[in-house]
């Protein structure tokens, strides 16, 4: 087998090991779990909170995948300066995306707290 196929299989295996706990623990906590005693909450702030949580989780997964691709590109660059620059750019974009996601979630949480209280 070629080195690229082995590298790809290794990348998929590592991604599976990293993402498995997140997928197991990714369950709705507010308003989406119906029970026998209380219907699901259909209030706007609960719905927005759930949408934000899922979008934030998706963004975090994308950032982790971009960082892993960047690491793979660094490892397979072989001293090629163009590939190293491309890998650095991928890592920089991943970190910028993470910063924007964290700031966006913080701002939304702040606004919702100011509007609806604690």
Phi, psi of 46 (to 5 degrees): -70, -40
Q: How far apart are the first and last CA of the chain?
A: 57
Predicted confidence band of residue 108 (pLDDT cuts 50, 70, 90): confident
For the ranges 11-15, 26-30, 75-79, 94-98, the lowest mean pLDDT is seen at 26-30
> What is the rounded CA–CA span in Å between residue 63 and residue 115?
30
CA separation for the pair 97, 58 (Å, rounded)? 12
Give pLDDT tens digits for 62-107.
Answer: 888 988 999 899 888 888 899 999 999 999 988 998 888 888 888 8
């Amino acid at each position: 087998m070629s080195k690229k196929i082995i590298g790809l299989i290794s990348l998929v295996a590592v991604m599976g090991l990293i993402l498995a706990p997140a997928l197991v623990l990714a369950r709705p906590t507010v308003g989406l779990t119906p029970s026998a005693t209380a219907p699901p909450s259909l209030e706007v702030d609960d719905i927005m909170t759930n949408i934000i949580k899922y979008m934030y989780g998706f963004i975090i997964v994308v950032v982790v995948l971009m960082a892993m691709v960047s690491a793979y590109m660094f490892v397979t660059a072989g001293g090629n300066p163009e590939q190293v620059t491309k890998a650095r750019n991928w890592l920089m974009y991943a970190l910028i995306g993470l910063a924007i996601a964290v700031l966006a979630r913080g701002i939304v949480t702040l606004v919702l707290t100011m509007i609806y209280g604690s």
